[in-house]
């Protein structure tokens, strides 16, 4: 299988995706390539640290192993500083590697889900007068909601209108989509829908999009904070959700629509301007780095990555600082 991949992948054009997870003192990077028709999970890199140089060298080892230098047209990654540093970030380092080997520099596109994540945090902090950092959230409604969630559900008089629309790729994202549609129905018609309550996500382990779940839950379950939450829940349920739950394919009008929605939030607008790439994609693929299915292959309390569904081929790089586990 590995030989087949080496022989065939170089004949197509791909986008390179990578995403990291820090476990038990080790840095793991899932490495995936995508194009319009295929998605290949190439490797789960085990690295000695999460520095940009180390990650770039790990990616280099995968590109060389699979002879992909001439096949990569795009790089999609999140907007963390280790990835996007202008002089020494992972993306810049990898692009220089391509140029040094005589290949065109791949187009870099920031993960749009990650940009939307950052925008949501800024808007929520501004609307709710918070300066929150995971896992601490100082919004006025959070403690009451988290402490009394079961009792609040029991006292809530649910509506009868069943929301049929569904979207999202994980249970928490499906729940968020459901809550945004519930808000829309209530906002537009004044009728409480039938809300399918679920367990609140583990706040220590989720990104800012799940803070939107808390705001929408509080809006419905805690009427005394509804007025305070009106604007932020409206932003979440309309402008933000329309883009978050889209296919993330490039559309020139998306930037204009987001810019208009963010006019009241100058810091969020600056984030959009800095990180949302406006040029068309070289490949017509989702401009997202959602590698959660791949991240599930990462170890949990084990010394080496294992996979319940896929076996791995273990390679040790010549510098002895990087192990990578290649799907076979």
User: pLDDT tens across 93-139, in order?
Assistant: 999 999 999 999 999 999 999 999 999 999 999 999 765 555 456 78
Strand order in the sheet with 26-34: 107-110, 72-77, 14-23, 26-34, 39-47, 322-327, 312-316
Question: For residue 55, what pLDDT is reported?
Answer: 96
Q: Is 131 exposed, middle or buried (0-12, 13-18, 19+ CB in 10 A)?
A: exposed
pLDDT at 317 > cutoff 90: no
Long-range Cβ pairs for the range 166-172 (8 Å, 24+): 167/245, 168/245, 169/290, 169/292, 170/292, 171/198, 172/198, 172/201, 172/206, 172/210, 172/213
Domains in the chain, please, with CATH?
2-111+289-327 (3.30.420.40), 113-275 (no CATH)
Question: For residue 217, what pLDDT is reported?
Answer: 97
Give me the half-sphere count of Cα atoms (radius 13 Å) on the Cβ side of residue 106. 30
Looking at per-residue pLDDT, the higher value among 264 and 300 belongs to 264
Residues 6+ apart with CB under 8 A from 37: none
Burial 59-78 (b: 16+ CB within 10 A, else e): bbbbbebbebbebbbbbbbb
Q: Residue range 72-95: average pLDDT?
A: 96
pLDDT at 307 > cutoff 50: no
pLDDT at 7 > cutoff 60: yes
pLDDT at 218 > cutoff 50: yes
Looking at per-residue pLDDT, the higher value among 129 and 88 belongs to 88
In the structure, what pLDDT confidence band is assigned to residue 204 with cuts at 50, 70 and 90? low
Question: For residue 4, what pLDDT is reported?
Answer: 92
pLDDT at 44 > cutoff 60: yes
In the structure, what pLDDT confidence band is assigned to residue 206 with cuts at 50, 70 and 90? very low
pLDDT single digits (tens) 223-269? 999 999 999 999 999 999 999 999 999 999 999 999 999 999 999 99
Question: For residue 134, what pLDDT is reported?
Answer: 52
Q: Which residues pair with 47 in a beta bridge?
A: 27, 322
Least confident of 2-16, 21-35, 163-177, 259-273: 163-177
State in Å, rounded, how far the first CA of the chain is from the last one.
6
Question: For residue 38, what pLDDT is reported?
Answer: 94
Q: Residue 236 is encoded by which pair of tokens?
A: 């979440």
- In which residue are the tokens 């889900």 written? 113
Q: Residue 90 is encoded by which pair of tokens?
A: 């992972």
Find, among 26, 29, 30, the residue nearest to 48 by Cα. Answer: 26
Question: For residue 324, what pLDDT is reported?
Answer: 39
- In which residue are the tokens 């949990």 written? 300
In the structure, what pLDDT confidence band is assigned to residue 205 with cuts at 50, 70 and 90? very low
Write the CA distances from 252 to 32, 80, 88, 248, integer angstroms.
Answer: 26, 24, 30, 12
How much is the pTM? Answer: 0.84
Question: For residue 137, what pLDDT is reported?
Answer: 64
Looking at per-residue pLDDT, the higher value among 312 and 168 belongs to 168
């Amino acid at each position: 299988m590995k030989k087949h991949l080496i022989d065939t992948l170089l004949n197509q054009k791909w986008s390179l995706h990578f995403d990291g997870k820090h476990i038990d003192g080790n840095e793991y990077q899932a490495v995936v390539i995508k194009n319009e028709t295929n998605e290949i999970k190439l490797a789960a890199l085990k690295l000695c640290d999460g520095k940009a140089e180390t990650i770039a060298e790990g990616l280099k080892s995968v590109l060389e192993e699979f002879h992909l230098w001439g096949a990569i047209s795009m790089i999609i990654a999140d907007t963390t500083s280790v990835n996007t540093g202008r002089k020494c970030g992972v993306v810049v380092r990898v692009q220089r590697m391509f140029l040094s080997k005589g290949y065109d520099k791949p187009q870099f596109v920031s993960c749009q889900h990650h940009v939307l994540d950052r925008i949501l945090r800024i808007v929520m902090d501004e609307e709710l007068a918070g300066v929150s950092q995971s896992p601490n959230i100082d919004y006025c409604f959070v403690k009451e909601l988290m402490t009394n969630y079961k009792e609040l559900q029991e006292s809530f008089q649910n509506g009868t209108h069943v929301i049929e629309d569904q979207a999202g790729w994980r249970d928490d994202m499906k729940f968020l989509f459901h809550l945004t549609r519930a808000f829309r129905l209530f906002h537009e018609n004044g009728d409480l829908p039938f809300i399918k309550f679920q367990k609140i996500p583990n706040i220590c382990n989720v990104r800012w999009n799940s803070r939107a779940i808390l705001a929408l839950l509080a809006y419905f379950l805690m009427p005394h904070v509804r007025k305070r939450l009106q604007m932020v829940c409206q932003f979440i349920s309309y402008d933000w959700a329309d883009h978050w739950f889209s296919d993330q394919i490039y559309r020139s009008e998306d930037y204009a629509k987001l810019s208009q929605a963010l006019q009241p939030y100058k810091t969020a607008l600056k984030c959009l301007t800095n990180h949302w790439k406006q040029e068309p994609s070289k490949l017509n693929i989702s401009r997202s780095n959602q590698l959660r299915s791949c991240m599930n292959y990462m170890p949990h309390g084990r010394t080496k990555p294992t996979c319940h569904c896929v076996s791995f081929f273990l390679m040790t790089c010549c510098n002895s600082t990087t192990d990578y586990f290649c799907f076979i």
